[in-house]
Structure 1
């Protein structure tokens, strides 16, 4: 992205917009142009945040005793693999910890909805990075739910000893599993943590759900385009 000082004012760009919708009123067009200014500024802010994220200094080296059972292990009875195996042939790894621990009768509906979105994009993501979905339930149990949902592209792993989930904030102080998003890098033989989602209940505005922006879930982004918005009393379910 160009340096901020070289950017045209968002109002000037919005004024050049020639899009018009059928039968719109002058009042609508005036309000829509004002909204377009904000959308331009939002895009610029997202780009600035992404650039700031990419410029983070090296994160902490990954040193824990982390052991995972992958999907192949459930078939061949293989031994657990270490953390580096999750990278495969890539040097950047995105890990999503989903809320499907052994004490849960069913997975978290929000995690389920998010992973359904991620499943549809996993093949595209794996062109550039490695992807791993980690849960605390046995790998056989996770696979059974994957089959039920019809997921085709998500690589599932069971955190055998819970150390990874504990260290990278997927287990709360009370021992309950929670969702977590983390990115790791492998450079010159050294694996480091690059970024992890830290927005949560402590950082949420009053009466607002915590969210990681931009939201990974296409569900919320589409609802944000509608007059009803996300609402305050609706969340996705596993089945309807």
Structure 2
């Protein structure tokens, strides 16, 4: 950091003003993308998905909990996992306190995983979260959205050199690499209109960054994300940090 360019307050203000123009342009572009996202065609959900919840078996329509919109975070917690994915756990730390605000805007937010519901609820208690968490079990809900993979599909990846971060995450979840990468993260959105459930949006990978608030904050620090060249992923569950 000591080798970084140093300037006067006037130089900073001039450079900051130039950057602000680009930041405002990006904000306006983000607003335009949000509008186009809302204009995507709705797709009727015709399959009868079933979920295990604290209150018993529920349909997808039941998960709206009386609201017209539903956000589902597909949390990586597969049947062989002993604990949830640390990265998904960091995302859940952001999702949990926002659920009450989303409810005020007619949106129900839940998490869905394929592990048994009792295991999910025990982990939720450990993490101190309160959002509703359902088990999709052996159903096709995650698979149909591209968030679950077969061993055959994963064979090319497994035959190559496994990144150290993948092995790290698998170990942190109490499973092997295959068990870990069988699951994938994602966000899917639905609306309930005249008794029909429609899928309106799906994303994964960096599309999940709005739920990773820490990255937006790190992007504004002198070192940024500072992840380049790291063999181990820095993220931990919030009760595992030592500092």
After superposition, residues 46-125 of structure 1 pair within 5 angstroms as 46-57=30-41, 59-73=42-56, 80-125=57-102
Aligned length: 199
**Structure 1 residue 48 displacement after superposition:** 0.4
**Structure 1 residue 190 displacement after superposition:** 1.6
Aligned counterparts of 1:39 and 1:149: Cα–Cα separation in 2: 35
1:12 matched residue in structure 2: none
Aligned counterparts of 2:209 and 2:117: Cα–Cα separation in 1: 30
**Structure 1 residue 160 displacement after superposition:** 2.8
Q: More helix per residue: 1 or 2?
A: 2
After superposition, residues 9-28 of structure 1 pair within 5 angstroms as 25-28=9-12
Does the CA contact (< 8 Å) of 2:113 and 2:137 recur in 1?
A: no
Asked if 1:151 corresponds to 2:129, the answer is yes
Match of 2:221 among 203, 226, 237: 226
**Structure 1 residue 139 displacement after superposition:** 0.6
Does the CA contact (< 8 Å) of 1:99 and 1:107 recur in 2?
A: yes
**Structure 1 residue 28 displacement after superposition:** 0.8
Match of 1:139 among 102, 117, 122: 117
TM-score (norm 2): 0.77
Show structure 2 runs of 5+ residues with no match.
1-6, 155-181
Runs in 1 of length 4+ with deviation above 6 angstroms? none
**Structure 1 residue 213 displacement after superposition:** 6.5
Q: What is the RMSD of the two structures over their aligned residues, measured on CA atoms?
A: 1.8
Which stretch shows the higher mean deviation, 189-198 or 86-95? 189-198
Aligned counterparts of 1:146 and 1:213: Cα–Cα separation in 2: 20
Aligned counterparts of 1:218 and 1:120: Cα–Cα separation in 2: 12
Cα distance, 1:213–1:44 mapped onto 2, change above 3 Å? farther
2:236 matched residue in structure 1: 237
Does the CA contact (< 8 Å) of 1:97 and 1:178 recur in 2?
A: yes
Deviations 1:32-87 (A, max 9, x none): 01110111011101100001111222x221011311011223xxxxxx22111111
Match of 2:190 among 184, 204, 208: 184
Higher relative CO (Cα under 8 Å, sequence separation at least 6) belongs to 2
Asked if 1:31 corresponds to 2:3, the answer is no
Aligned counterparts of 1:68 and 1:108: Cα–Cα separation in 2: 20
